[in-house]
Structure 1
Amino acid sequence: MKEKEIQVDPTILKSYIDLVGYKKDNVLDELREVTQKLGDISIMQIGAVQGALIEMLCKLGKFKKCIEIGVFTGYSSICIAKGLEDDGKLYALDTSIEFTSIAQKYWEKAGVKDKIKLILGEGNNTLDKFLNDGHNETFDFIFIDADKNNYLDYYEKSIKLIKQGGMIAIDNTIWKGKVLDNEDKTESTKSIKKLNDTIAKDNRIDHCLITMYDGMTLCIKK
């Protein structure tokens, strides 16, 4: 017997998920409101359910040593840090003093400031430094949510830095559906398509593309 499908207005569904879909956190709620006031750029912030999932993944994996590539106002940083072991450390990489100043304020409010080390500068340069300093295969978790044109570089360097059994999470891998548009020749879309194709054929990892929000791909290194 075929199950009945109910078409639900996305706005109503979001309201329902916001009601029952994740544990509420006053600091994260406030940070979402502050970020929304930044205007259109606020779309760079991950969704609440996505943040809750990331926190749970970090707890399940008992992660200690992590990297976040792309901080913005610090929402995902808080979620990662909350999920880390007590002696865990998150290296948060970004280029913006303006947005990371907001992040640092809310890291302190959330009680996770001591777990996070902010590194300002180009992400690729910082990853190269980690590699040159001998941090290969020492990280438990890496979250990629930064400039899309560099996604493949970030991924390849993350593969070298992540330990066996460690996880790489990559945001925006559906890219507003643009990955399905063969007419879209923008660099960001081409970059994400190339990344998705690379991951699909990569025997170094197991992966799963989750269709929540703008798509998030989870990779576990074999």
Structure 2
Amino acid sequence: MSTAPKKKEMESTIEGAAMPNAVILQSEGLHEYILDTAVYPREAEPLKELRKATASHPTAFIGSSPDAGQLMAMLIKLVHAKKTIEVGVFTGYSLLLTALAIPDDGHITAIDINRETFEIGFPIMQKAGVAHKINFIESQALPVLDKLLEDKENEGRFDFAFVDADKENYLGYHERLMKLVKVGGIIIYDDTLWGGAVASPESSVPEPKRRGRNSLIEFNKVVSGDQRVDISLAPVGDGIMICRRLC
């Protein structure tokens, strides 16, 4: 008599093995442990100052997660990024960590429709000695990216890009950044798990979050099938889609 496990038993075992990971991803306690153990002790003082300055803002929840920022800074250093693009700035936590990670002669093109929130963080960037690396452009992002692409010399000229802006335009940003970022460069898209809503039935998602949910589901699907990039959809912060351009 065969002792090999039946198919249903094997499937049950596989599913059972996966469940602890699902629980871990939802654990606030574990997230706090990661922050307290590995993130906050390594967080640069200017970043800590900016995070605290942002905490009292009514929409502070849209700011970059420090643990996602830590991973992003490591990737910036791994590719030796010097010239970068940021789409969506808010108060500038991710912008500041990028400015701290790139060399002194590096340059960031930072685009956001709201200068007022950017100016919350800008004095801290000045104090940190990195303001000279930043070119802030108050504008919708698509026209700025299109303008950059009018100059053929900008194609493949950027080493890294970070996107945390209107989710409905993520695919539009992706197509443009795939031309602007060099082969081997990295593009990171924030909030790609949308508070877990991408894995929930639409009917269970609050109405204000549905449009973003649907846009991100489509974005994640399209990028997952994009053979021009290596990808990792990492459950860090509110989810980050990491893309490495291949061609």
TM-score (norm. length: structure 1): 0.91
Alignment of 1:72-151 (within 5 A): 72-134=90-152, 135-151=154-170
Report the CA distance between 1:207 and its aligned residue.
0.5
Deviations 1:173-220 (A, max 9, x none): 111111123425832222111110111110111101101121001101
Aligned counterpart, 2:8 = none
For the residues of structure 1 that align with 2:128 and 2:142, how far apart are their CA atoms? 28
Moved more, 87-96 or 11-20: 11-20
For the residues of structure 2 that align with 1:24 and 1:219, how far apart are their CA atoms? 24
Moved more, 198-207 or 52-61: 52-61
SS of alignment partner, residue 73 of structure 1? coil
Change (3 A) 1:96 1:217: same
Alignment of 1:173-184 (within 5 A): 173-183=192-202
Deviations 1:120-158 (A, max 9, x none): 101001100110122111111010101111111111111
Aligned counterpart, 1:21 = 38
Stretches of structure 2 that go unaligned for 5 or more consecutive residues are 1-16
Aligned alpha-carbon RMSD (Å): 2.0
Task: State how many pairs are aligned.
Answer: 218
Select 1:38's aligned residue among 48, 52, 57.
57
Stretches of structure 1 that go unaligned for 5 or more consecutive residues are none
Q: Once the two structures are aligned, what percentage of the paired residues are identical?
A: 36
Q: Verify: 1:164 aligned to 2:197, yes or no.
A: no
For the residues of structure 2 that align with 1:92 and 1:24, how far apart are their CA atoms? 22
Letter in 1 for 2:163: I
Deviations 1:83-107 (A, max 9, x none): 1123211111101021011121121
Change (3 A) 1:129 1:96: same
Select 1:57's aligned residue among 75, 86, 94.
75
For the residues of structure 2 that align with 1:200 and 1:21, how far apart are their CA atoms? 29
Report the CA distance between 1:27 and its aligned residue.
1.8
Report the CA distance between 1:77 and its aligned residue.
0.4
TM-score (norm. length: structure 2): 0.82
Q: Verify: 1:214 aligned to 2:223, yes or no.
A: no
Letter in 2 for 1:141: F
Letter in 2 for 1:118: F
Letter in 1 for 2:135: K
Q: Is the 8 A contact 2:83 2:158 kept in 1?
A: yes
Moved more, 82-91 or 18-27: 18-27
Report the CA distance between 1:11 and its aligned residue.
4.4
SS of alignment partner, residue 214 of structure 2? helix
